């Protein structure tokens, strides 16, 4: 667009804007004429943040912003373009718009903005169910991100968010879980609406439960996102904590809710095995290190697993790295020398406190015995 027509364009747009936003248009023209690009960019971002600006964003971007696009921070340019893209008629128009944006910012000095734009392209491809194309864009983005020493958190947040959405669409629960948690680590939870927080917490909890490689929920249990699971979703939070402490009784009480979620219902058998494994590791954890040679009968009593399935259960725990030790198949004894660390609830912490007191008492007794038996040596 001819720069001579910019004042006319701004005047037309000002007349279309709500009364409480019209003062910004005078600022736009003033900053544009004085070539104060940084201040102009920030004022435009402020304008785009207003819901009332929605119908003006796309013409603003195409007619006004593109005239000085090369003079402003390219990451902020992409931010403005993403806001404008929400006003495209359909996904195909939005995809073309964002692909053009990605090419525009593909310069050596603006690779962070390029990644931000590519990730936005991948988002639209996911919406259009073009999973293969989305994966290629995400892999390209990841390769560029790995080459950076540092990058703005909004870029990483966008990458992890879309990566999580891809893995969720592919039902790859462990990868979704990891990327969704990384996304939450890059943002302020207050930026999410209550409904978004609830959905994130719900999806993360389901992924943790049904994944066949996630047996330690510590990072999720400590995350404030779980506070979003209230009222009708409180059972899911309780179920996670039941798994964490290997509480079979609590699991049986909460199992009635499993049918309310298709994924949980589909993985019902896997959930039962997972709670048995959790009960086994908890049984081992409660015992002091010198008392971890356990008979199959003892394990069966504490985990409620049938005696003929105990050996398989222990082998499963050993193969998953939940326990380390050996099995005496002849005498039916499992000798465990290590159990995977995990987040402890108050009951488990109290159990550890009692074990520390027992250890302290044992050390004192040993010291007293040495002092009694070795009097002449100490005197010398």
For 121-147, how does the pLDDT look when each residue is reduced to its tens digit (9 = 90+)? 999 999 999 999 999 999 999 999 999
List of residues 6+ apart from 259 with CB closer than 8 A: 265
Alpha-carbon gap, residue 206 to 217, rounded angstroms:
11
Q: What predicted TM-score, i.e. pTM, was given to this entire model?
A: 0.87
Picking from 318, 335, 317, 314, the residue whose alpha carbon sits closest to that of residue 326 is 335
For residue 85, is pLDDT > 90? yes
| Cα 298 to the center of its chain, rounded Å | 38
Quick: pLDDT tens for 280-336. 998 898 887 778 899 999 999 888 888 889 999 999 999 999 999 999 988 899 999
Q: Rounded to the nearest 5°, which phi and psi values hold at 293?
A: -95, 105
List of residues 6+ apart from 243 with CB closer than 8 A: 209, 217, 251, 274, 275, 278
Quick: pLDDT tens for 360-370. 888 888 888 87
81-119 burial, b for 16+ CB within 10 Å, e for fewer? Answer: bbbbbebbeeeeebbebbbebbebbeeeebbbbbbbbbb
Q: pLDDT-derived band of residue 380, with 50, 70 and 90 as boundaries?
A: very low
List beta partners, residue 338. Answer: 324
């Amino acid at each position: 667009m001819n720069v001579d027509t910019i004042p006319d364009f701004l005047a037309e747009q000002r007349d279309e804007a709500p009364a409480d936003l019209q003062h910004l248009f005078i600022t736009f023209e003033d900053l544009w004429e004085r070539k104060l690009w940084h201040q102009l960019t920030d004022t435009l971002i402020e304008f785009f943040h207003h819901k009332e600006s929605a119908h003006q964003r796309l013409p603003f971007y195409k007619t006004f912003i593109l005239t000085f696009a090369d003079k402003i921070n390219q990451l902020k340019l992409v931010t403005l373009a993403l806001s404008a893209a929400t006003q495209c008629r359909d996904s195909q128009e939005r995809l073309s718009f964002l692909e053009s944006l990605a090419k525009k910012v593909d310069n050596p000095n603006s690779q962070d903005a390029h990644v931000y734009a590519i990730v936005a392209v991948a988002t639209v491809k996911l919406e259009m169910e073009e999973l293969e194309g989305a994966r290629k864009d995400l892999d390209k983005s990841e390769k560029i991100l790995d080459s950076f020493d540092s990058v703005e958190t909004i870029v990483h947040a966008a990458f992890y968010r879309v990566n999580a959405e891809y893995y969720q669409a592919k039902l790859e629960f462990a990868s979704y879980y990891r990327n969704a948690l990384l996304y939450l680590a890059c943002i302020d939870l207050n930026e999410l609406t209550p409904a978004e927080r609830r959905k994130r917490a719900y999806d993360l909890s389901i992924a943790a439960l049904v994944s066949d490689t996630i047996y330690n929920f510590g990072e999720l249990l400590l995350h404030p996102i779980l506070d979003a699971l209230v009222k009708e979703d409180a059972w899911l939070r309780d179920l996670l904590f039941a798994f964490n402490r290997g509480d079979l009784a609590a699991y049986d009480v909460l199992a009635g809710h499993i049918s309310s979620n298709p994924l949980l219902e589909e993985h019902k058998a896997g959930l039962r095995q997972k709670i048995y494994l959790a009960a086994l590791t908890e049984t081992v954890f409660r015992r002091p290190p010198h008392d971890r040679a356990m008979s199959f009968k003892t394990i069966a009593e504490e985990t409620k697993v049938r005696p003929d399935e105990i050996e398989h259960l222990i082998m499963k725990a050993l193969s998953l790295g939940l326990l380390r030790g050996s099995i005496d198949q002849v005498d039916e004894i499992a000798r465990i020398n290590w159990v995977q660390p995990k987040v402890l609830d108050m009951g488990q912490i109290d159990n550890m406190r009692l074990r520390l007191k027992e250890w302290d008492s044992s050390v004192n007794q040993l010291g007293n015995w040495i002092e009694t038996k070795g009097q002449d040596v100490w005197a010398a």
